[in-house]
Structure 1
Amino acid sequence: MDVKEIAKKLVPLLGGKENIASAQHCATRLRLVIRDESKIDQKGLDEIEDVKGAFSNSGQFQIIFGTGLVNKIHAAFVKELDAEEAAAPVDHQEEMKKKMKMNPFARFARMLSNIFVPIIPAIVASGLLMGLLGMMKAFHWVSEDSALFVLLDMFSGAAFIILPILIGFSAAKEFGSNPYLGAVIGGILTHPMLLNPWTLADAKPEYMDLFGLSIPLIGYQGTVVPILLAIYVMSKIEKGLRKIVPNSVDLLVTPFLTVIITGFVSLVFIGPFGRYIGDLISISLQSLYDVAGVFAGILFGGLYSTIVLTGLQHSFHAIEAGLLANPKIGVNFLLPIWACANVAQGGAGLAVYFKTKNAKTKKIAIPAAISSFLGITEPIIFGVNLRLRKPFIAAAIGGAAGGGYVVLMHVVANAYGLTGIPMMAIAAPLGMSNLIHYIIGMIISVGVAFGVTWFMKLKED
């Protein structure tokens, strides 16, 4: 079935065009805001060959198609609706808010998720480049003084150096502000005149006297909390100015005052405060990791897939970025735990493939399991394991076992956004031992999940 055919089938099964308020997609799912979900033909959706699962969650009705396919179906689907190809994120969020009321914690987590998901490709690219550089250095493929190595080193660090600019743009869109002004504020916090803390070492920043206030000339490259706070304040300032500035001079006056006011406030107050908060969160997590040890790995590894059900796992990227930005930590010790939980879902799904007698389940299980081993778990979770329930529980046990092992062996990564087999590229630069223990952790997760599922009696009705 081609994507146009699928799109045509979806519209009536979802209650018709008038029942679909807005449509977006993520890496694996078509995300829809439906006016009346009682009009949805769930059985009909399940019978579409490429649908790996369909469910309602957090104000959205989500249909899983998998990576590479969902974006093509989305493009055909919005054309079928006579809508623009890319629905505005702010409009989609407004429709979601109308649809349901989230508690403050859920809203905050969803906000972080919306900010960080768009910038994941940049972080993934940088992480893979770091992995390539690490292997080039370890195996002496090229000299560290060669032009190729130097250029790749520049490419790999760029996303982390300008991270506040990327976050500034994305956060401004989420807060309903001008994204380009958000990027400017990110540029101010990473200006070349400010000392880069990544290269600080024993150097001390210079100080500037402003109206009796001593301002350290230190940048915020790689940080997260300062730019998030700055953009939130910027959005309030911009919206406030637009209410009082006459329309005739709005284009000139509002951006001008927004940048000046936010820039001063960010460098004098928000930046230092945000850095302190970010460091406090990172150091607290490091202390928990050190004290709880293996228990933390078992707990996080066992519960991570349950968090994936809510779609809030992307909010963790803010925490992971903070760990990498903190010069006292500089590594991501959470990602290997998440990775073990992800591949465990694939192990359970693989066992289902050999046990099930259902033709569609068998057809979904293998590609979905492979997708899980590559770090994308939604197809195997919603298409197979959660439907049968017991395999999902078995995967949680496998994730707990692998998570405990990688914490015990102090496995870490130098980026975020990659799990499963691809994460090997960002584990390798931190030593061969680190890579080997990560691979063992994955094998434990897959093996335990497969074994527990194998000995469970599945109910496929």
Structure 2
Amino acid sequence: MSKNREVAKQVLAAIGGKENIASATHCVTRLRFALNDESVVDKEALEAIDVVKGSFATNGQFQVILGQGLVDKVFKELADEAGISQSSKEETKTAAEKNLNPLQRAVKTLADIFIPILPAIVTAGLLMGINNILTAGGIFGDASLIEMYPGIADIANIINIIANTAFVFLPALIGWSAMKRFGGSEILGIVLGLILVHPDLLNAWSYGQAIEEGTMPTWNLFGLEINKMGYQGQVLPILFASFILAKIEIFLRKKIADGFQLLLVGPIALLVTGFLAFAIIGPITFAIGNGITGAFVWVFENAAIIGGLIYGAIYAPLVITGMHHTFLAVDLQLIGSTNSTPLWPILALSNIAQGSAALAMFFLLREEKLKGLSMTSAISAYLGITEPAMFGVNLRFRFPFITAIISSAVAAMWITANNVQALSIGVGGLPGIFSIDRDGWFAFAIGMVIAFVLPIILTYVYVKARRIKLQ
């Protein structure tokens, strides 16, 4: 029997056998199962398997971490052993939804919408970091690099355009992903998003000034005045409008004959949704978005340390539940409304803290498999991917996870007290500094040191003080 087949048999037995599998698939590093009953999983037996680097349940799926390359081979053997075929990721997600409560379903919906556009947002954030280095003064002297070397000014301008595009046309990205999630045509979602940022509309970032000066342009529709404004950088208007658009499109496709659908479905759906977006959906959700933004701004202006303490402490537990995806929408809303966010820097520090807790376990553990997992997962966390460290090491022993939370909260209190802001969403962990406003670099660097060093000290002291014997 091949080693991969033996691993597959052991995994299958640990998760409750083929009878417990409702659907199965895999991603680059993990086996993903929708199980009929997660309570029958023998996690101790599962994680005792040599090649298993950890396991966890999230969003109704039970996932087993194997690593790139190996996961393909083991899944093939497992599918053959269990007599099942590989389900698509969407089929497994659908099968897993039966295990979710209403709140989890709502969070999962947000995750399904925002995760697909995350690569574009992160790429834009990194490029904006490069642009900040080129254009900000005080980094290499009083003058900026483009002032010192005028020849690179146009290069910086091109980088800025490339970086800003994802944020300027954010509604189009969200429209595409939301329509895909709600079952509509993605192309109509893109068009709806572009409608909401049409250049003939008042730019959303000029809204406050237009209100103050009384220069807000309007449409007059049958005596009803509608603000002629765009929704650049806004999240809620396109989310709700996409939901309405998808429902109208699905309804029309059921009622209109196939031969007339191309001529009628798209135009009617877009026309109705467009009017609703500008007349009702946009103004209401824009006000809600401003309210959310105002609440977070107030907290971090008037009780910054408390806000940092709370968010720094809860972010890692939110990752376990999947609810951290909700705050991606909040970050984007804050950036769209205020051009910066105090929340994202805390995420980056939480990544570092989880990595350092795992690194501490590398020096404390004796068992070679866990030592190797601790080191590799720590490096991954320092580069912004914390799941291997959290689920493979820190949550397994519990106390490293707690020391990481404490350290993240302390570091978050420091940076929020010093008003550290991120200009964009980028890569978490150590590269996160490139997304930070230049004025906050020094304070954020100190926060990084706290998040790096404190978990190692706390974890080591805890083990020695409690005289914990680790294998």
Question: In the alignment, does 2:448 pair up with 1:442?
Answer: yes
Alignment of 1:64-213 (within 5 A): 64-65=65-66, 69=68, 73=71, 77=75, 81=79, 87=88, 89=90, 91-98=91-98, 100-102=99-101, 104-138=102-136, 139=140, 140=145, 142-143=149-150, 146-198=153-205, 202=209, 204-213=215-224
User: C-alpha displacement at 1:342, in angstroms?
Assistant: 1.8
User: C-alpha displacement at 1:360, in angstroms?
Assistant: 1.4
Alignment of 1:404-415 (within 5 A): 404-415=413-424
CA contact (8 A) 1:388 1:460 kept: no
User: C-alpha displacement at 1:258, in angstroms?
Assistant: 1.1
In 1, the alpha carbon distance for the partners of 2:86 and 2:190 equals 25
Match of 1:398 among 401, 407, 410: 407
In 2, the alpha carbon distance for the partners of 1:223 and 1:188 equals 13
CA contact (8 A) 2:355 2:389 kept: yes
Q: 1:296 — aligned with what?
A: 307
In 1, the alpha carbon distance for the partners of 2:76 and 2:198 equals 41
In 1, the alpha carbon distance for the partners of 2:71 and 2:302 equals 47
Per the alignment, do residues 209 and 180 of structure 1 end up closer, same or farther by CA in structure 2, a change over 3 Å counting? same
User: C-alpha displacement at 1:331, in angstroms?
Assistant: 0.6
User: C-alpha displacement at 1:266, in angstroms?
Assistant: 0.7
User: C-alpha displacement at 1:262, in angstroms?
Assistant: 0.7
Question: In the alignment, does 2:377 pair up with 1:368?
Answer: yes
Q: 2:63 — aligned with what?
A: 62
In 1, the alpha carbon distance for the partners of 2:66 and 2:283 equals 44
Q: 1:454 — aligned with what?
A: 460
Match of 2:343 among 334, 340, 344: 334
Once the two structures are aligned, what percentage of the paired residues are identical? 37
Alignment of 1:296-315 (within 5 A): 296-315=307-326
CA contact (8 A) 1:297 1:400 kept: yes
Secondary structure of 2:33's aligned partner: strand
User: C-alpha displacement at 1:255, in angstroms?
Assistant: 2.3
User: C-alpha displacement at 1:397, in angstroms?
Assistant: 0.9
Per the alignment, do residues 125 and 212 of structure 1 end up closer, same or farther by CA in structure 2, a change over 3 Å counting? same
Amino acid at match of 2:94: E
CA contact (8 A) 2:352 2:448 kept: yes
Secondary structure of 1:456's aligned partner: helix
In 1, the alpha carbon distance for the partners of 2:251 and 2:107 equals 25
Match of 1:258 among 262, 269, 275: 269
Unaligned runs of 5+ in 2: none
In 1, the alpha carbon distance for the partners of 2:229 and 2:6 equals 53
Match of 1:324 among 312, 315, 335: 335
Secondary structure of 1:31's aligned partner: strand
Per the alignment, do residues 29 and 441 of structure 1 end up closer, same or farther by CA in structure 2, a change over 3 Å counting? farther
In 1, the alpha carbon distance for the partners of 2:171 and 2:7 equals 38
In 2, the alpha carbon distance for the partners of 1:214 and 1:262 equals 18
Alignment of 1:13-24 (within 5 A): 13=13, 20-23=21-24
User: C-alpha displacement at 1:316, in angstroms?
Assistant: 0.8
CA contact (8 A) 2:171 2:196 kept: yes
In 2, the alpha carbon distance for the partners of 1:288 and 1:152 equals 34
Q: 1:234 — aligned with what?
A: 245
Per the alignment, do residues 92 and 193 of structure 1 end up closer, same or farther by CA in structure 2, a change over 3 Å counting? farther
Q: Over residues 109-132 of structure 1, what are the superposed CA-to-partner deviations in whole Å (9 max), with x where a residue is unaligned?
A: 221112111111111111111110
> How many aligned residue pairs are there?
449
Q: Over residues 160-182 of structure 1, what are the superposed CA-to-partner deviations in whole Å (9 max), with x where a residue is unaligned?
A: 01110111111112222222221
In 2, the alpha carbon distance for the partners of 1:63 and 1:209 equals 58
Larger Rg: 2
In 1, the alpha carbon distance for the partners of 2:162 and 2:293 equals 26
Per the alignment, do residues 367 and 26 of structure 1 end up closer, same or farther by CA in structure 2, a change over 3 Å counting? same
Q: 1:277 — aligned with what?
A: 288
Q: Over residues 378-412 of structure 1, what are the superposed CA-to-partner deviations in whole Å (9 max), with x where a residue is unaligned?
A: 11111111111111111111111101101111111
CA contact (8 A) 1:390 1:453 kept: yes
Amino acid at match of 2:183: G
Per the alignment, do residues 86 and 421 of structure 1 end up closer, same or farther by CA in structure 2, a change over 3 Å counting? farther
CA contact (8 A) 2:124 2:426 kept: no
CA contact (8 A) 1:7 1:76 kept: yes
Secondary structure of 2:421's aligned partner: coil
CA contact (8 A) 2:113 2:178 kept: yes
CA contact (8 A) 2:59 2:108 kept: no
In 2, the alpha carbon distance for the partners of 1:157 and 1:415 equals 10
Secondary structure of 1:55's aligned partner: strand
TM-score normalized by structure 1?
0.88
